[in-house]
């Protein structure tokens, strides 16, 4: 049986014309005459158009006696059942009291209030900072406003130096339209990371379209292109062009801020003069913000350590825990709060005979002091032990390029997914190995390397690091340790294992908290 609608009711009713508003009929008549409407609608159509909203239409029809009196018998019976009035006569009162339900019965839309969506009570920041990072940005902004021309942001590896600094960069660019920021670093990994992270940061924090100019690895660029936004440049690229007529002065005048990543390199004779000239060419002098987890260059202290502190005018911004009862050492606080993993240091095999009182941070190769076969046995055996302990991502820092490949080959032979990379590895091979290592697949993977994953590499899933590379450099050592200590709040792990050939009983080499404050007296 076809559904009986209000249109059917009006078509059969002798009262349909009474619901037509004369003004509507008159206007439609004129529109028909002008050809804007094809023909005059039937009385039932006009009546339905003039009855108004569903509830008002039913009430008007009830008041006029059309409902329920003109309903066919079968429809009266069905409607009574719908309204749970079986055995009772439908009345005008029943119609008006149940106008909404009668309207639906006659094919009109159901009238009901939309439930308002609850008001939001909080919102997340797409490129936000942890409290200690926000306090660091506030300190840097305050110092720059006071006219400090140089300062160093001292944060542990893995605690978000790049993210913190880019919030400062975005603040600066919003407030200084038309002045660019120069971000300098020494490796492709750090430069690539800075450019990509700025793209993410500005997409959330920015207020206009700005350029990102890449100046490393032979990419073509001109100082005239630096009108706003971020110039990401290698130290080598800037140094190579310093003798071009007017280059340093022109570029320097376009800059409003210089960020020096891995700032312990700032006093290297090769680069120091260039950076100072860029800063001095600014109008006014362009401030320099250094970033480092290790605000020194040597382990025991030397003239270069003092020069570094002097270069940044002994102005250092540290992490302020800002909480009563929190650990005094920033690293201990970050571990306590879950931003960094709690590391367990283990000794790897027999130590080579390395001076425990080194005087340089050179990362030149050091004699192993043990047989190559014993070395491979120790490193591979330790790595397999870590996998058996349920570590899913392990980074191995080998003592040479050849040893890195030998370790990876041996691990693959033992049934472990392992890749090796070094500075000569083709970019597509290296990128694939790193991508696979960072994948969320639960199967264990090992990434063995020599000289390429100490900076600019972030794989929070890493829970174990094997430092199978002797070193006298606390800077390099801290960078290697930092690859495996991302905490749960940073997408990492609660605990981490660091297996090392460097004696962890040497002060600062067995505690990331001690390493962090090793150069404190200089500042």
- Do domains 160-292 and 338-522 share one topology? The answer is yes
Cα distances from 416 to residues 325, 394, 431, 507, in angstroms, run: 45, 11, 19, 35
Q: What percent of the chain has pLDDT over 70?
A: 88
pLDDT of residue 355: 42
Is domain 160-292 given the CATH code 2.40.30.10 in the classification?
no
Which are the contacts of 386, defined by CB distance < 8 A and separation ≥ 6? 394, 464, 466, 497, 499
Give the DSSP letter string of 239-270: HHTTTSTTHHHHHHHHEEEEEESSGGGTT-HH
Token pair of 386 as six digits:
């870590």
Please report where in the chains the tokens 């920041």 appear, as a residue. Answer: 125
The pLDDT score that the predictor gives to residue 79 is 92
- Would you call the peptide bond into 99 cis, given omega within 30 degrees of 0 as the criterion? no
- CA gap 468, 350 in Å, rounded: 11
**Mean pLDDT value across residues 356-367:** 44
pLDDT of 219 higher than 60: yes
- Residue with the bigger pLDDT between 183 and 265: it is 183
For residue 107, give every residue at least 6 positions away whose Cβ sits within 8 Å of its Cβ, in sequence order, or none: 3, 5, 6, 7
d(CA 253, CA 242): 15
Tell me what pLDDT residue 189 has: 83
Predicted structure pTM score = 0.72
Residue 418's contacts (CB-CB under 8 Å, 6 or more residues apart) are 407, 408, 411, 412, 445, 446, 447, 448
pLDDT digits (tens, 9 = 90+) for 264-279: 888 888 888 888 999 9
Query: Which secondary structure element, helix H or strand E, spans residue 205, and what is its range?
Result: helix 188-205
**Residue whose structure tokens are 């306590």:** 336
Inform me whether the pLDDT recorded for 166 exceeds 80.
yes
Among 163-167, 291-295, 316-320, 454-458, which is the least confidently predicted range? 454-458
pLDDT above 70 (res 345): yes
Between CA 197 and CA 207, with CA 203 as vertex, the angle to 5 degrees is 130
> For residue 168, what pLDDT band results from cuts at 50, 70 and 90?
very high
Per-residue pLDDT band for 503 (boundaries 50, 70, 90) equals low
* Whether the predicted pLDDT of 422 surpasses 80: yes
Was domain 338-522 assigned CATH 1.20.140.10? no
pLDDT at 517: 55
**Res 188 pLDDT > 90:** no
206 vs 17, 56, 160, 172, CA distance in Å? 63, 52, 20, 10
- pLDDT tens track for 460-489: 899 999 999 888 777 788 888 888 888 898
Q: Which of 155, 474, 152 is nearest to 300 (CA)?
A: 474
Out of 50-64, 76-90, 222-236, 238-252, which region has the weakest mean confidence (pLDDT)? 76-90
- The answer for residues whose C-beta is within 8 angstroms of residue 94's C-beta and 6 or more apart is 68, 83, 85
Decide if pLDDT at 298 tops 90.
no
Contact 309, 463 (CB under 8 A): no
Contact 486, 340 (CB under 8 A): yes
CA distance 190 to 324: 35
The upper half-sphere exposure of residue 491, i.e. CA atoms within 13 Å in the direction of its Cβ, equals 11
Lowest pLDDT segment from 259-263, 394-398, 506-510: 506-510
Q: Where are the domains of the chain?
A: 6-105, 160-292, 338-522
Those residues whose C-beta lies under 8 Å from the C-beta of residue 291, and which sit 6 or more positions away, are 152, 153, 155, 161, 162, 165, 259, 260, 261, 262, 263
What local confidence, expressed as pLDDT, does residue 513 receive? 57
Q: Which residues contact 455 (CB under 8 A, 6 or more apart)?
A: 187, 189, 190, 262, 479
Return the higher-pLDDT residue of 372 and 450: 450
- The reported pLDDT for the residue numbered 411 is 95
- CA–CA gap between residue 92 and residue 116 (Å, rounded): 33
Chain Cα centroid distance, residue 12: 67
Region 39-57: what's the mean pLDDT? 92
- Span 279-288, mean pLDDT? 88
Antiparallel, parallel or unpaired: β 180-185 and 230-234: parallel
* Cβ-based neighbour number of residue 125 at 10 Å: 8
Confidence tier at 360 by pLDDT (50, 70, 90): very low
- Confidence band, pLDDT 50/70/90 cuts, at residue 356: very low
CA distance 467 to 521: 28
pLDDT confidence tier of residue 195, bands split at 50, 70 and 90: very high
Mean pLDDT of 57-67: 94
Q: How many helices (H) and strands (E) does the chain have?
A: 20, 13
Q: How confident is the model at residue 200 (pLDDT cuts 50, 70, 90)?
A: very high
Give the residue carrying structure tokens 């003592």. 399
Contact predicate 480/452, CB 8 Å: no
């Amino acid at each position: 049986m076809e559904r009986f609608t209000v249109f059917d009711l009006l078509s059969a009713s002798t009262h349909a014309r009474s619901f037509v508003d004369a003004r509507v009929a008159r206007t439609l008549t004129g529109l028909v005459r002008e050809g804007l409407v094809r023909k005059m609608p039937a009385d039932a159509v006009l009546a339905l158009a003039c009855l108004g909203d569903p509830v008002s239409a039913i009430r008007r029809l009830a008041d006029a006696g059309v409902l329920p009196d003109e309903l066919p018998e079968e429809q009266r019976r069905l409607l009574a059942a719908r309204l749970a009035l079986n055995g009772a006569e439908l009345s005008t009162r029943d119609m008006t009291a149940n106008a909404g339900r009668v309207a639906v019965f006659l094919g009109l839309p159901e009238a009901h209030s939309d439930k308002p969506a609850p008001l939001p009570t909080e919102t997340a920041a797409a490129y936000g900072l942890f409290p200690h990072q926000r306090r660091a940005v506030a300190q840097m902004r305050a110092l720059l406003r006071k006219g400090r021309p140089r300062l160093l942001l001292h944060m542990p590896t893995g605690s978000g130096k790049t993210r913190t600094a880019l919030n400062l960069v975005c603040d600066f660019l919003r407030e200084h339209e038309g002045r660019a920021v120069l971000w300098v670093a020494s490796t492709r990994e750090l430069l690539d990371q800075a450019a990509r992270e700025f793209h993410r940061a500005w997409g959330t924090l920015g207020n206009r379209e700005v350029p990102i100019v890449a100046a490393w690895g032979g990419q073509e660029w001109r100082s005239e292109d630096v009108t706003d936004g971020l110039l990401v440049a290698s130290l080598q690229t800037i140094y190579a062009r310093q003798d071009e007529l007017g280059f340093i002065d022109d570029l320097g005048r376009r800059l409003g801020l210089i960020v020096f990543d891995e700032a312990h390199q700032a006093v290297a004779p090769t680069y120091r003069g260039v950076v100072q000239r860029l800063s001095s060419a600014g109008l006014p002098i362009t401030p320099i913000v250094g970033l480092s987890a290790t605000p020194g260059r040597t382990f025991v202290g030397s003239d270069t350590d003092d020069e570094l502190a002097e270069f940044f005018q002994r102005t250092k911004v540290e992490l302020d825990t800002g909480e009563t009862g929190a650990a005094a050492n920033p690293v201990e606080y970050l571990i306590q709060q879950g931003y960094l993993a709690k590391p367990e240091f283990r000794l790897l095999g027999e130590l080579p005979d390395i001076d425990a009182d080194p005087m340089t941070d050179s990362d030149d190769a050091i004699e192993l002091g043990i047989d190559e076969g014993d070395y491979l046995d120790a490193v591979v055996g330790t790595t397999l032990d870590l996998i058996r302990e349920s570590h899913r991502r392990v980074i191995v820092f080998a003592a040479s390029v050849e040893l890195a490949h030998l370790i990876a080959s041996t691990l693959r032979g033992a049934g472990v997914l392992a890749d090796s990379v070094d500075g000569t590895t083709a970019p597509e091979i290296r990128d694939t190995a790193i991508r696979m290592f960072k994948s969320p697949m639960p199967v264990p993977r090992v990434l063995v390397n020599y000289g390429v994953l100490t900076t600019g590499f972030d794989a929070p899933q890493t829970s174990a690091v094997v430092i199978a590379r002797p070193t006298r450099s606390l800077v390099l050592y801290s960078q290697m340790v930092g690859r495996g200590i991302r905490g749960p709040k940073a997408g990492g792990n609660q605990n981490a294992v660091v297996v090392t050939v460097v004696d962890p009983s040497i002060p600062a080499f067995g505690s990331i908290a001690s390493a962090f404050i090793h150069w404190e007296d200089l500042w």
